[in-house]
Structure 1
Amino acid sequence: MEQDSKSNSEAPSGSTDWKSLHHHECVEQIDLLIRTAHLVRAALNNSFANLEINEVRYSALKVIDDICETGCSQSELARRLGQSESNICTLIERMEGDQLVIRRQSQQDRRKRVLQVTEQGARILEQVKAYHGLVSHRLLGPLNPDQRRQLTSILQALLKSASIQRSQRETVKTFQDVSSPYPYQGAPAA
C-alpha cells in the first residue's frame, strides 16, 4: 500500500503512464491499420509503376474525374487531398505538362478555372481502376459481404474523424498538451 502511494507521489502532476492507458488498444489498432495500408499500397503500386503514374497523380485524377460535372477547382482538389494549394499548383502544372489534365474556364463562374481530365488522363485512370479492382477483389475476397459493409462503415467513420481533427488542428494541440514518451517536434506531416 505504501509503495502504491509512493509511486503515485513520484509521478509529476499531469503526467500519464502510457503503458497503463486504455488507449493501448487504440494504438494497436492504428498500428494494424498503418501496416495494412502499407501492404495494400505496395500491392497497388505495381499498377502505378506499369502506367508511369504515382499515387498522388492517381488520387488527383480520381477526384477531378469524380466531380467533373461542376468542375474541380485547385482549392477543392487541395481540400479533398489534404494538401496545400501551393503543392497542388505544382502538381497540376506537372500533370498539365504530361497532358493528364487541363485547366478551363468554369461554366458557373467565368472568373474561376477548373480542372478537367484529358483523354490520356482518363485512359490511364481507367487502367489503374481496372487493376485496382482486381487487387481489391483479391484482398477483400476472404471477407463476407457483411464484413465488407462493416469495414466500409468503420473506415468512413475513421476518415471523418481524422478529417475533423486535421481541420481543427487538434492533433497539434494533443501533442503539445500531453506529456508522452515521444516529444513533439514540429507540425504533423501532411
Structure 2
Amino acid sequence: MEQDHNSDLETAQDPIDWRSLQNHECVEQIDLLIRTVHLVRAALNNSFAQLEINEVRYASLKVIDAVREVGCSQSELARKLGQSESNICTLIERMESDKLVIRQQSKKDRRKRVLHLTEEGESILAQVKAYHGTVSQRLLSALNSDQRRQLTGILQALLKSAHIQRSHRETAKTILDVSGPYPFQGAPAA
C-alpha cells in the first residue's frame, strides 16, 4: 500500500506529464492565434493597399497623431513600434518623401526634432481608420459584446506577457529547468 502511495506521488510530481499536456495546449492556442492574425492582417492589408499604405506606416501615423501637440521623436516612435532606430529612420525618410510626415524643431526642447503629420498624412490616416473600422467590425461581428470585452482582456494580458518575455529575452531561450507548472510566477508586472 505504501509503495502504491509513493508511486502515485511520483506520477503526480513528474514534470513531464504536465509539461507535455500544457505545452500541447499552449502550442495549439498560439498556432490558432497566429492563423487568426494572418487572416486578419491579410484582410486589413487588402484595405490598406487601396490607399497605398502598409501596416507599419499606419501604425507610425497613429503613434505620431496620438502625440500631435508635442510631436514624436524618432526614438520614441521606434520604441513604441518595437523597431530599431535605423529602421525607423529609413521609414521616416520615405514617409517624408511621400509627404506624410515632417520633422520640425520641438517647441519644448529646441535641440530636438520631432515628427508631425502633414495634411496629406492626416487625410490618409483618417481614410485608413475608416477602412480599418469597417473591416474590424466585419471580422468581430461573430462575437457578442461580452465576448469582445473578454477578447480585449485576454489580448491585453497576452500582449503584456509578450512584452515581459521580450524584455527578458525569454523568447530566445527554452526553459528546461523550471520545476513547476507556473514558470513565470515571479515575472515583474509591466
User: TM over 0.5: same fold?
Assistant: yes
Partner of 2:118: 118
- Normalised by the length of structure 2, the TM-score is 0.80
C-alpha deviations, 1:31-66, integer Å up to 9, x for none? 111100100011111122111111111111111111
Q: For 1:41 and 1:92, locate their aligned partners in 2 and report how far apart those are by CA, in whole Å.
A: 22
Are 2:5 and 1:34 equivalent residues in the alignment? no
Change over 3 Å in CA distance of 1:75–1:18 after alignment to 2: farther
Change over 3 Å in CA distance of 1:127–1:33 after alignment to 2: same
- In the TM superposition, structure 1's runs of 4+ consecutive aligned residues that sit over 3 Å from their partners are 16-19
Are 2:133 and 1:101 equivalent residues in the alignment? no
Report deviation, 1:27.
1.1
Q: Give the 5 Å matches for 1:6-155.
A: 20-155=20-155
What RMSD, in angstroms, separates the aligned Cα atoms of the two structures? Answer: 2.1
- Normalised by the length of structure 1, the TM-score is 0.80
Unpaired segments ≥5 residues, structure 1 = 1-15, 180-190
Q: Residue type matched to 1:106 in 2?
A: S
Q: For 2:129 and 2:115, locate their aligned partners in 1 and report how far apart those are by CA, in whole Å.
A: 20
Q: Is the 8 A contact 2:48 2:131 kept in 1?
A: no
Q: Residue type matched to 1:109 in 2?
A: D
Seq. identity, %: 77
Q: Residue type matched to 1:154 in 2?
A: I
Q: For 1:91 and 1:17, locate their aligned partners in 2 and report how far apart those are by CA, in whole Å.
A: 48
Report deviation, 1:18.
10
Q: For 1:18 and 1:50, locate their aligned partners in 2 and report how far apart those are by CA, in whole Å.
A: 48
